Amino acid sequence: MNLIINFTPTGMIPTKEMTPHVPVSVSEIVEDIHQAVEIGITMVHIHARDEKTGVPTYRAEVYGKIIEGIRKYSRELILCVSLSGRGIKEFEHRASPLQLEGDLKPDMGSLTLSSLNFNKTESVNSPEMIQKLAMEMKSKGILAELEAFDAGMINYAKYLERKNLLEPPHYFNLLLGNIACAQADLLHTGIMIRDLPANSYWSLAGIGNDQLMMNSIAIAAGGGVRIGLEDNIFYDLNRKKLTTNIDLLKRIHTLAIANERNIMSPMELREKLKLNNGNGSYGRTFSE
């Protein structure tokens, strides 16, 4: 199967003080994604920042500006908006980007499948919140980008499918190496892949130093990759060289060539995930 590249340029944690390379403003995010499209990606996972303070924001109007900027040059790229529970608690706030319509409608929205702790912060995702977000996405015709940090989260996705809140085919980000979750090794990785529900497509992400190893395993094993400054701001394992999104992406392409993996186009993944064709028609039409 061709290689899914899920590009994650910003995230919620990196700041300009940590690295000057992280795109924060609308124009910076749009330009990094533009360069990534020119190199070759399949989809993009978008986090928005307040343009005055640089802190993460849930505001639909900021997401709308980013999506508008991207679709001026790429009307087929699969766009996923973050619905993260890290620091954003209210359902109305977390669901705000899902209210965008027409040419600003996202194809996907992230859905973290349980609560978890990071090094210094928590991401709170109660069962009620997860189910309400899943229900809202389905009602809006937006596909859930399923985020699993351990095997139990995958089991919860199967539960949501039985409740008719999720509908296959599914797309999973499997994130390994977080201190309180599944570690970045072959055993944890294999168990999570084995436990995926039928008709699932997946990408591996590694947190921090684990990014390169997890991406390399995914490319060798036939899966997809999640790549970008959201998960890792350094190019080298010694953390001496700050990286750019483009340098990370170019390395993925080098690994793909070495493994004889072609990059999956957005249109190919749209077909596999039963997404609408882009070019003015976004998201997915779900069954009743």
Supply the pTM of this predicted model: 0.97
Coarse DSSP helix, strand, coil percentages of the chain, rounded to the nearest 5 percent: 35, 20, 45
CB 189 within 8 A of CB 176: yes
Q: How many CA atoms lie within 13 A of 14 on its CB side?
A: 27
Q: In this structure, is the dihedral angle defined by the CA atoms of residues 97, 19, 228 and 157, taken in order, positive or negative?
A: negative
Residue 231 in any domain: the answer is yes
- 34 in a structural domain: yes
The domain containing residue 208 runs over which residues? 5-272
Q: Is residue 209 part of a domain?
A: yes
Distances (CA, A) of 171 to 30, 188, 243, 246, 270: 24, 19, 27, 24, 11
pLDDT in tens, the chain (288 residues): 999 999 999 999 999 999 999 999 999 999 999 999 999 999 999 999 998 999 999 999 999 999 999 999 999 999 999 999 888 889 999 999 999 999 999 999 999 999 999 988 899 999 999 999 999 999 999 999 999 999 999 999 999 999 999 999 999 999 999 999 999 999 999 999 999 999 999 999 999 999 999 999 999 999 999 999 999 999 999 999 999 999 999 999 999 999 999 999 999 999 999 999 999 999 999 986
Mean pLDDT of the residues in the chain: 97
- Is 44 part of any domain? yes
Q: How many domains does the chain have?
A: 1
Handedness of CA 26, 29, 33, 34 (dihedral sign): positive
Q: Is residue 285 part of a domain?
A: no
What digits encode the pLDDT tens for the residues 50-62? 989 999 999 999 9
**Residue 111: CATH number of its domain:** 3.20.20.70
Residue 88 domain-assigned (yes or no): yes
Asked if the structure places residue 281 within a domain, the reply is: no
pLDDT tens digits for 158-205?
Answer: 999 999 999 999 999 999 999 999 999 999 999 999 999 999 999 999
